[in-house]
A and B are shown apart, each in its own frame.
Chain A
Amino acid sequence: MAHSTTGRRTSSHRGRGGTVLAAVVATAVLGACGGVEVRDGSDEEPAATGEPAEGSSGPLELAVLPKAVGHEFWNTVRAGAECAAELAGDVTVEWDGVTAETDVEGQVNLVQNFVTRQVDGIVYAATDSTALAPATQGALDAGIPVAMIDSGTDPQPEDVPLYATDNRAAAVEAANLLAEELGAGEHEVALIEFQPGSQTNTERVEGFTEGLAQHDNLTLVGQQPSHSDVNEARRVTEDILTANPNLAGIFAANEPSVLGAAQAVEAAGRSGEIVIIGWDAAPDEVAGLRSGQISALVVQNPFNMGYLGVKNMVEHLREGTPLESADTGVTFLTQENVDTEEAQAILEPSCDNPPVG
């Protein structure tokens, strides 16, 4: 779901980013003044000097757009965004999105509509990295700063940050974790991917195989996709188990894949015997973790995506802080740490105990 390389890239351009930023903010302010509606008299002065709009503490209206509305993951992003808005004060979050992550054109239109509406900033997750690149550029051209969450664009403009999970790095860690759980000796492992061709899937698969390459005692004997369908995940896992009676470990790369794999292992009567490393933390996955069916879960931090996106955008608009990408981090959930306060903050995020920083 996320982009992984931009974080490193942006930080190396810190100095230049500031200059570009100043220019962008200047454009933004000029754009606002040039329009029919003059919104804030205080904008004029920094515009003339080309400096960031420092200290403009008036009300801000931010558009925060998920890939699609209605999913638990995005609801958590929303909670994080609204939390940051509440803490900053006087910030309105306009939460809006298309209904299916495949509705790329719908999201392009949506971004354009918010540009037309002249919101102060746009924080969003691109449904398609290439198709949304012009939409991001369009917002910048209109003087509206943009921050990406979860998934960036390609190309990603230098002054547009990305707050996302580093899928590749986390998947490398998942491979290490699998190796650790299995211990010494030769072991056969399998990979249940979800949507071949999608960027997130590719990053997790590549990260996992990259990690696997560092462990000579692990052999990948099966790799099949679930198409994010639990039934299909179960079917392919059953068949992989049939073909490889010595299978010792499975890495399943998203929620439906994990659930299907765990079902298949359970049905084969080999629960607890086969190590399953999963991704995401749906209630049944966490239950599987507690019962020992699943050894560990890679859990992203969608709350932090929304939180950082809005927090940094507000600081950028009010204080001129440059926008810089950040890895929103993952937590490796195990039976041992699932009940700790830190894990619970990730699983049941709330603004009282935000899983950030």
Chain B
Amino acid sequence: MTTVDHTADVPARPGDWVRERLSNALSEFTAAAALVVLFVVLSFASPHFLTADNLFNIGAQTAVIAIIATAQTMVIITKGIDLSVGSVAALAGVVGAITVRDLGFSIWAATAVAIAVGGVAGLVNGLLVTVARIPPFIATLGTMSAARGLVFIITGAVGVYGLPESFQLLGNGEILGIPFAVVLTAVVAVGVAFLLSQTRFGQYTYAMGSNLEAARRSGIPVGRHLTAIYVLAGLLVGLGGMIAASRVNSGQPNYGIALELDVIAAAVIGGASLFGGQGRIIGTLIGAFLIALVRNGAVLLDISIHYQMVIVGLIIWAAVYFDQYRRRRLESRG
């Protein structure tokens, strides 16, 4: 995104690595504290908040954003950004819905197709960034427009309706009383968290985001690796789009407009840095749930949408401000 490199020397010294981890944990702590405070406040403010039904609802409502925010976090760690997530999710959802309606696919086959659609979009993003060398912001801006256009072309800008009951499995089904969407979110989050924190793939990801040139010189195949990250992110976006379609039992051509802003907000509130090299899945999940709680609470207390938007904006400011403040203090001590 930018040539100014704020963290050029981070991977060089082991002490910095420890500090980095500590700083990550701190920003997550801030967001988690806000989440807990909000949770407690809402529990007192509304008698309906702290009920199993409402908590499951929040879980299912947050699933799509959480999964796509997980994808976004991976990209942000590499110092990239993916603006195309909303359009690609819509594309995956309508294609999945069409395969069920017109080709008689099962929900599983349709989900596989939707995930693949996301993967292809991710591959396009990745190749645009690594081969065509277009900055991620611009590359994915183009994909955002092109994918939305494809959605309208495929659907004629009319929703895909008339789907069988089984189509709702992903979005509305349950496993042992827990919404299936929540289970999928957990699986995705744990999987990606493991990938980022425990594998060489993860180390490469953070290293490239901290200092791409250093990563290249140390022998990391950056082009291939970066492409792989966009593809993986795309696959998750495809899954998210399919869950969203399944939740409303239809393929919606207008789904996900401005979704990228929600998921970027979730990642940033959770401690991911747009300068790259920083961010963890647990933080992003906290960010996603923080936003979801604000929205849920606002409706429970019948607060107008206009205030909800202001509150989310304030949280983004506060989260990033506290984050930077703590980092600065940490750095001046080190």
- Of the candidates B46, B152, B159, the one whose C-beta lies within 8 Å of that of A243 is B46
Distance to closest chain B CB from A285 (angstroms): 9
Residue of B nearest to A74 (CB): B157
Distance to closest chain B CB from A196 (angstroms): 7
Does B295 interact with chain A (Cβ within 8 Å)? yes
Q: Mark B300-331, 1 if CB is under 8 A from A, else 0.
A: 11101110000000000000000000000000
CB within 8 Å of B: which of A182-208?
196
- Provide the bound-state CA to CA distance between A316 and B156, in Å: 34
Given contacts A239-B299, A243-B46, contact A71 B254 (CB under 8 A): no
CB <8 Å contact, A259 and B250? yes
Which stretch of B47-55, B106-114, B214-222 is in the interface? B47-55
- Of the candidates B54, B152, B247, B300, the one whose C-beta lies within 8 Å of that of A234 is B247
CB within 8 Å of B: which of A308-322?
none
Among B48, B250, B302, max chain A CB count under 10 A is at: B302
CB <8 Å contact, B57 and A259? no
CB <8 Å contact, B172 and A267? yes
- Of the candidates A229, A260, A268, the one whose C-beta lies within 8 Å of that of B254 is A229
Given contacts A228-B254, A229-B252, A239-B300, contact A71 B61 (CB under 8 A): no
Given contacts A242-B48, A243-B299, contact A229 B250 (CB under 8 A): no
Which stretch of A25-33, A54-62, A113-121, A219-227 is in the interface? A219-227
Distance to closest chain B CB from A339 (angstroms): 18
Residue of A nearest to B159 (CB): A282
A-B contact count (CB 8 A): 82
- Provide the bound-state CA to CA distance between A229 and B172, in Å: 17
CB <8 Å contact, B162 and A283? yes
Does B83 interact with chain A (Cβ within 8 Å)? no
- Provide the bound-state CA to CA distance between A228 and B256, in Å: 11
Interface size for A (C-beta < 8 A) is: 34
Distance to closest chain B CB from A104 (angstroms): 18
CB <8 Å contact, B255 and A230? yes
CB <8 Å contact, A230 and B248? yes
Q: Mark B226-243, 1 if CB is under 8 A from A, else 0.
A: 000000000000000000
Does B124 interact with chain A (Cβ within 8 Å)? no
- Provide the bound-state CA to CA distance between A99 and B153, in Å: 11
Does B257 interact with chain A (Cβ within 8 Å)? yes
- Provide the bound-state CA to CA distance between A308 and B23, in Å: 67
Distance to closest chain B CB from A222 (angstroms): 5
Distance to closest chain B CB from A221 (angstroms): 7
Among B157, B248, B255, B301, max chain A CB count under 10 A is at: B248
Given contacts A196-B306, A234-B248, A259-B250, contact A242 B255 (CB under 8 A): no
CB <8 Å contact, B250 and A230? yes
CB <8 Å contact, B161 and A282? yes
- Provide the bound-state CA to CA distance between A283 and B304, in Å: 31
- Provide the bound-state CA to CA distance between A263 and B48, in Å: 20
List 4 other contacts, CB 8 Å, given A283-B162, A284-B159: A229-B257, A235-B61, A242-B54, A243-B299
Show the binding face of A for B, using Cβ within 8 Å.
70-72, 99, 196, 221-225, 228-231, 234-236, 238-240, 242-243, 245, 255-256, 259-260, 263, 267-268, 282-284, 287
Show the binding face of B for A, using Cβ within 8 Å.
46, 48-49, 51, 53-54, 57, 61, 64, 152, 156-159, 161-162, 172, 244, 247-250, 252, 254-255, 257, 295-296, 299-302, 304-306
Q: 24 A–B contact pairs at CB < 8 A?
A: A70-B156, A196-B306, A221-B302, A222-B299, A231-B252, A239-B57, A239-B295, A239-B296, A239-B300, A240-B299, A242-B49, A242-B53, A242-B57, A243-B46, A243-B48, A243-B301, A243-B302, A256-B254, A259-B250, A267-B172, A282-B159, A282-B161, A284-B161, A287-B162
